[in-house]
């Protein structure tokens, strides 16, 4: 029984981070129907932002968190302004491949500049474990989960309580109607890319407390984020939140009962099963 | 038409004699890679470019081809030539099984499902001791002969084999494009619901496209295994290989007969040159350029190089006031 509880706790902790990453992805998709294949590369750059701030100025990852959010927000915004902007009316295939090209570009640029080495940030402010009964809590993971919850909450608040957030939602529901109501949709698209980037930048900085940093780190997270988004339903923020937690738990269950090598294979298998049975995902309305 | 045929015959003759004139081993190696990727990409294009089902999992068929022929050879000394055909058949069976869930999905979902299935199969091979697991398999050296599919003294036989295989693949694409099948495929790509409404059994023809694609990709995989004499899951079925196959077709122009070859002619020399110029420190630098090229192509010329050339020809003819065949532009 304890092992099951432990698996659920560990799964939820990493699951909140998965949710945050997926929310960034699904937000962009929801607002403009474009899948950002470079999302994992954004995450990797968020991690490297925290890493280099630590190496150069001895910043703790938690101190780097706001800087990483801003840096990747800007990266997302720039990606929209200079790249994605150009394919808004292009055939769907071009829309798929443009962010795919961006991913290949960013990931390999990082490989070229920083080598494929695995790096780690030493002596972080948060470290170690504590126990409640038989259940062990890893403090860096707990902090990452808490940070993810806070930022997820902030995004929810922004989307439902502010005028700009509601304008963003309106653009997602009906682009043309939103435009007729005087919403500058181009600005909204750029904002969605910014927030999507900011979310994943935050996740990146939080991950550096306990995860290796390397140029291809985004690949696995990218796939998991896609799976999360598809499972939750493309464009559904609530769906991404729930799916992220589910995937965290499934991954841990599979890791313990089937073997660590197979944990992602099991996640993918369940993903395929779910989308075949319910192609719109758990909470997708579209 | 006759002009085209003469052009093609001349091109094939040049390709045949080229490595006899310029004999550098590295040059032949690059030519072999060009035709190998052009072939895998041409096979991919049948399902990705013509039928519009973007698969990011074609590396599994490549891997199945490589593994089937190698295992048959290791355990029962079956010549790789027969193994190649068996590998093709196994790949078709896998394609039908994979297609069953995948073809229920469209667009992004189909693409993600193929990535997921590819990763599942790669994980299985990595952890399957009977097929060598993560360590892979070394193909034992045998006497150099056509029957053994092994040539040690020169790369030339490999070149002529892959050139022939590529030409055969190209002919398959050509006949598909000219036949009713090609029209069915394109109809599915342009508008699946409309195609269905016109009475095309869309599900069946997606399977047909996928099966042909899988068969040809598996054959490329067997060739690769015999050329390198070593296979492991991370070299014959990684996601990166699926990606490369797709990149070649996008750059060259999806759904154009000459697209994959054009893409391969640009990308492969580029990657081999950067490898030579920058050494190991620059490993992967060609992918930085790939990434940029793919972004630029998607932004400005989504029809790829082949589409660009056709557009240019079209405009030239129009400017000259000549007869314009309206059906040739299909962006």
Q: Is A112's pLDDT higher than 60?
A: yes
Q: Which of A11-25, A121-135, A201-215 has the lowest mean pLDDT?
A: A121-135
C-beta atoms of A97 and B298 within 8 A? yes
pLDDT in tens, A182-214: 888 889 999 999 999 999 999 999 999 999 999
CB proximity B240 to A under 8 Å: no
Q: Is A85's pLDDT higher than 80?
A: yes
In which domain, by residue range, is B255 found? 30-267
B-interface mutation test, from A38, A93, A116, A274, most B Cβ less than 10 A away:
A93
Q: Is B3's pLDDT higher than 90?
A: no
Instruction: Give the model's pLDDT for residue B329.
Output: 44
Contact between B238 and B59 under an 8 Å Cβ cutoff? The reply is yes
- Report the number of distinct structural domains present in chain B: 1
- B274 in any annotated domain: no
pLDDT in tens, A88-102: 888 878 888 899 899
Predicted confidence band at B323 (pLDDT cuts at 50, 70, 90)? low
Instruction: Give the model's pLDDT for residue B330.
Output: 44
Q: Tell me the nearest-neighbour CA distance from A33 into chain B, angstroms.
A: 10
Instruction: Give the model's pLDDT for residue A67.
Output: 96
User: Looking at chain A, which residue has its C-alpha nearest residue B251?
Assistant: A97
- Cα separation, B78 vs A169, in Å, equals 62
- Cα separation, B216 vs B176, in Å, equals 14
User: Looking at chain B, which residue has its C-alpha nearest residue A215?
Assistant: B284
Which among B101, B119, B123 is the nearest to A276, CB-wise? B101
Instruction: Give the model's pLDDT for residue B199.
Output: 85
Nearest-CA neighbor of B248 among B91, B32, B43? B43
DSSP-derived 3-state class of residue B231: strand
Q: Is B327's pLDDT higher than 50?
A: no
- B156 in any annotated domain: yes
- Cα separation, A68 vs A56, in Å, equals 15
**For chain A, domain boundaries:** 2-117+138-216
Predicted confidence band at B281 (pLDDT cuts at 50, 70, 90)? low
Predicted confidence band at B201 (pLDDT cuts at 50, 70, 90)? confident
- Cα separation, B236 vs B224, in Å, equals 8
Instruction: Give the model's pLDDT for residue B324.
Output: 52
Which among B105, B239, B290 is the nearest to A279, CB-wise? B105
- B146 in any annotated domain: yes
For residue B290, the chain A residues in CB contact (below 8 A) are 101, 104-105, 108
Q: How many other CB atoms sit within 10 Å of the CB of residue A53?
A: 22
- B305 in any annotated domain: no
Which among A98, A223, A276 is the nearest to B115, CB-wise? A223
Q: Tell me the nearest-neighbour CA distance from B155 into chain A, angstroms.
A: 31
When pLDDT is averaged across residues B69-77 and rounded to a whole number, the result is 91
Would you say how long chain A is, in residues? 286
Instruction: Give the model's pLDDT for residue B11.
Output: 86
CB proximity B40 to A under 8 Å: no
Q: Tell me the nearest-neighbour CA distance from A6 into chain B, angstroms.
A: 26
- B294 in any annotated domain: no
CB proximity A104 to B under 8 Å: yes
C-beta atoms of B284 and A108 within 8 A? yes
- B122 in any annotated domain: yes
CA distances from B42 to A126, A234, B1, B209 (A): 52, 31, 22, 12
What ipTM did this prediction achieve?
Answer: 0.85
Q: Mean pLDDT for chain B? A: 87
| Selected residues 93-152 of chain B with any CB under 8 Å from a CB in chain A | 101, 104-105, 107-109, 111-113, 115-117, 119-120, 123-124, 126-127
Q: Is B18's pLDDT higher than 90?
A: no
Q: Which helix (H) or strand (E) holds B138?
A: strand B137-138
């Amino acid at each position: 029984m304890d092992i099951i509880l432990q698996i659920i706790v560990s799964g939820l902790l990493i699951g909140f981070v998965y949710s945050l990453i997926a929310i960034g992805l699904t937000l962009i998709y929801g607002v403009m129907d474009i899948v950002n294949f470079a999302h994992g590369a954004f995450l990797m750059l968020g991690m490297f932002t925290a890493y280099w701030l630590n190496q150069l100025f001895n910043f703790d990852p938690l101190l780097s968190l706001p800087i990483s959010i801003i840096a990747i927000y800007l990266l997302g915004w720039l990606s929209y302004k200079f790249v994605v902007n150009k394919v808004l009316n292009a055939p769907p295939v071009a829309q798929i491949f443009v962010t795919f090209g961006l991913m290949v570009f960013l990931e390999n640029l990082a490989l070229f500049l920083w080598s494929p080495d695995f790096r780690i940030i030493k002596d972080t402010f948060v470290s170690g474990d504590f126990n409640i009964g038989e259940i062990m809590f890893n403090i860096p993971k707990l902090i990452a989960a808490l940070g993810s919850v806070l930022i997820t909450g902030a995004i929810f608040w922004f989307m439902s309580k502010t005028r700009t957030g509601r304008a963003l939602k309106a653009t997602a529901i009906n682009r043309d109607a939103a435009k007729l109501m005087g919403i500058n949709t181009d600005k909204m698209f750029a904002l969605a890319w910014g927030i999507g980037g900011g979310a994943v930048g935050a996740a990146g900085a939080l991950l550096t407390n306990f995860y290796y940093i390397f140029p291809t780190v985004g690949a696995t997270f990218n796939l998991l984020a896609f799976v999360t988004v598809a499972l939750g339903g493309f464009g559904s923020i609530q769906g991404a939140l729930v799916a992220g937690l589910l995937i965290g738990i499934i991954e841990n269950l599979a890791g313990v009962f089937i073997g660590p090598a197979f944990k992602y294979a099991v996640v993918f298998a369940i993903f395929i099963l779910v989308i075949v049975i319910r192609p719109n995902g758990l909470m997708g309305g579209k | 038409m006759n002009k085209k045929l003469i052009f093609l015959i001349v091109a094939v003759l040049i390709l045949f004699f080229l490595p006899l004139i310029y004999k550098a081993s590295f040059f032949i190696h690059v030519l072999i890679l060009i035709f190998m990727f052009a072939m895998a990409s041409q096979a991919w294009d049948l399902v990705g470019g013509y039928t519009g089902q973007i698969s990011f999992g074609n590396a599994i068929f490549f891997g199945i081809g490589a593994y089937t022929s190698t295992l048959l050879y290791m355990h029962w000394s079956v010549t790789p030539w027969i193994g190649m055909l068996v590998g093709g058949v196994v790949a078709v069976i896998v394609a039908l099984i994979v297609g069953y869930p995948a073809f229920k999905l469209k667009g992004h979902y189909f693409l993600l499902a193929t990535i997921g299935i590819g990763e599942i199969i790669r994980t299985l091979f990595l952890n399957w001791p009977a097929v060598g697991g993560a360590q892979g398999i070394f193909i034992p050296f045998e006497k150099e002969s056509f029957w053994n599919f092994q040539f040690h003294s020169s790369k030339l036989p490999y070149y002529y084999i892959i050139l022939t295989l590529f030409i055969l693949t190209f002919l398959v694409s050509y006949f598909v494009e000219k036949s009713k099948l090609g029209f069915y495929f394109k109809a599915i790509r342009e508008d699946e619901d409309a195609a269905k409404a016109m009475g095309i059994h869309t599900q069946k023809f997606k399977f047909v496209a996928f099966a042909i694609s899988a068969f040809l990709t598996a054959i490329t995989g067997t060739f690769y295994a015999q050329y390198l004499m070593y296979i492991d899951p991370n070299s014959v079925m990684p996601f990166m290989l699926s990606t490369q196959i797709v990149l070649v077709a996008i750059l060259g122009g999806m759904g154009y007969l000459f697209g994959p070859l054009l893409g391969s002619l640009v990308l492969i020399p580029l990657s081999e040159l950067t490898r030579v110029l920058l050494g190991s420190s620059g490993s992967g630098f060609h992918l930085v350029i790939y990434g940029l090229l793919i972004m630029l192509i998607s932004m400005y010329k989504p029809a790829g190089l082949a589409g660009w050339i056709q557009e240019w020809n079209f405009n030239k003819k129009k400017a000259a006031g000549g007869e314009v065949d309206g059906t040739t532009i299909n962006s």
